[in-house]
Structure 1
């Protein structure tokens, strides 16, 4: 999965600076393939970036930043973790993620970083995550699971993921 994330980062365009990941979809491929990753991009205001390697597929939608407020947490969920600023900056650099929002004094946690942390120790075939509100380094993250859907909150709903 991380290899596909790195491939998506190679498609980065300067005009995407400051945009946020709205949706990430991932489907695990079958068997080991040694084919190079294929990356494609499309869009004018909302950008879809897709990478495939063999039968594995990952795509993201990039949106301009929005100030809309997310649904308040109201005590929902159990404390999961906090991402430190240094952890966020190091992770983004290791992926080749060039978005400056991950390198500020109070960086936005990369959607890729959230996905890998959520997927840790889980065996799944597909992963779909929708981001509603930025999660900043240092913020406590609370998780609430309902069936196959995992909701991630800081003070507001930040993301919802479906793992199958």
Structure 2
């Protein structure tokens, strides 16, 4: 199932100024302004090697349901369009959106005894596998990370 996606739009200086003027805020305040208006969308601007507006869409929060289907695509697109129009007051920016990341999720219910056994066994696995490095930073979560793939195993009730 789909979970989240990250997008960006490259901006010129005058387009960044347009955001500040339209919303009456500084670029640093964009995250808070968008957070108040849109559930499931987080936005921020990075000004390094140019100006780029990033935004992450959490589909589960955006639609307030956990099972995202292909039929939900139009509703998601409408909400993203609404976000872009809120920020820029101009629909031409819709054609400039680039997706950088798409996260999937799979929820599996496992009885508590088996869950504890599996987490214990996962913790004992090799520290590297297929260019992924094991990360045991958290007690209830196990990560395997590479530059492009992150696998995460955790006990949801324990978080």
Same-fold call, TM cutoff 0.5: no
TM-score, normalised relative to structure 1? 0.25
TM-score, normalised relative to structure 2? 0.26
Higher-strand-fraction structure: 1
